[in-house]
Every structure is written in C-alpha cells, then in structure tokens.
Copies of this chain bind each other. A is one copy, B any other.
Amino acid sequence: MVNMSQHMERDYGLEKDDKISNSVIRRLPVYLRHVQTLRAAGIQTISSQQMGVQLDMNPAQIRKDFAYFGEFGRKGVGYDIEYLEHMLLQILHLDRQIGVALVGAGHLGIALSNYARFQSERITIMALFDNDPVKIGTHIGDLIVQDMKFLREQCHDRNIEMGIIAVPAAVAQDVCDRLVEGQVRVILNFAPTNLRVPKHVILRTTDFTTELQALAYYIAR
C-alpha cells in the first residue's frame, strides 16, 4: 500500500509530461506552423479530419497527440485555432523568451542567425562565438562575434538555455563540453560527428552529410 501510494504520488508529480515520446514532440512544431498559417488565413476552427488531409497525417494521431496535453477540442465542432496555437506555444515553451548561444560564425552560423530571428521571435540568439581571430569582434546582424574562451562564463552568467553547434567536426566535442560546463542543457549539433554528453543533457544531431547520404540510397530505383 505504501509502495502504491508512493507510485501514484510520483505519477501525479510528473503529471502531463509523464514521458511524452519524442515522436510526438517532433510533430508539435509542424502542427504549430500549420495552425499559424490557418489563423493568418482567417480560419477559426478546424477538425482533426480536415487537418489530417491538409498535413497528410492520420486524424487519430493528431487527436491523440493533442490529448496528451489536455482537452483542447470541442466534441462535434473541432479545435479553436487561436486556442490551439496558444496551447502549442505554451507546451513548447515558446510563450517566453529562450536564450540561445550559437557557436560558429561561418556561413551556416550566419544562415542560422538570420533564420531563427525571422521565424520565431521567442527563440533568441543572445551570443555568437567563434575562434577565428579575423571574425572575433565583427558584427553579424546585431550580434558581435565573441572569442570562444568566453563561451562557458557567458552561458552560465546569462542563463543561456540552448546551444547550437555550427563548427567543423574536429572542434565540435570541445565546443559541446564548454556548453555543458556553462550549464546549457539542450544542444542542437550540426557537425557530422557523434558527440558525448552527460545523461542530463539533451543532444540532437542533424547534419547535411548524413541526410544526403541516406537520401542517396533512394536514387536509381
């Protein structure tokens, strides 16, 4: 009995984030983007059925994904677009500013810094680093490229929550370690290499080479 009650308390404590799978999480931004498009078009309500057709997805999956986070819809009616957008933003923590450190001021880094600013104001690149003396001190947008030796302290002092690695593979692990030392817990890596992070750090690697090579499989078939 004691065991059971402890177990239930623990479940209650974790509440809604009771291990939502990554597959679900990665679909949320897709829903968000679509909902924003619909709102811009002046649409006010949508059913999972309609959304399924528009996004080429199974309507049951859409309903189930939403239901993990509460009851957003109205039976017989569908989902209110504005409310749905509000909830998706909240779930993804995009209802408040998220500070990001971007490491690497090459073409990819510059592309990313433009991109992120345009697309989603709440994810804000607060600091940009490189180790090239020629680049350090130059302006990119409204950011100044800083020496990588300040990476750790800047992340820590400014409470930066996310790191983006856009440097060559050879130095990616070093950059990654510095981010972790600076208390960054969520890292997006674009370098084509397998990075090692402590268990408490979330790392996602997505690199061009791997994507292209995987797609090459489908050629000539």
Contacts and interface: CB of A to CB of B under 8 A. Distances in A.
Contacts of A220: 93, 161
Interface stretch (A1-9, A59-67, A71-79, A115-123): A115-123
Interface residues of A, number: 55
A198 B206 CA distance: 26
A112 interface: yes
B209 A29 contact: yes
Contact of A116 (B17, B33, B34, B212): B212
Interface string A96-139: 00101000001110111011100110010000000000000000
A191 to B, nearest CB: 10
Contacts of A12: none
Number of copies: 2
Contact of A119 (B33, B93, B110, B209): B209
Given A111-B106, A111-B108, A218-B202, A92 B213 contact: yes
A162 B214 CA distance: 12
B185 A202 contact: no
A40 interface: no
A34 B169 CA distance: 13
Given A29-B209, A209-B120, A211-B188, A216 B114 contact: no
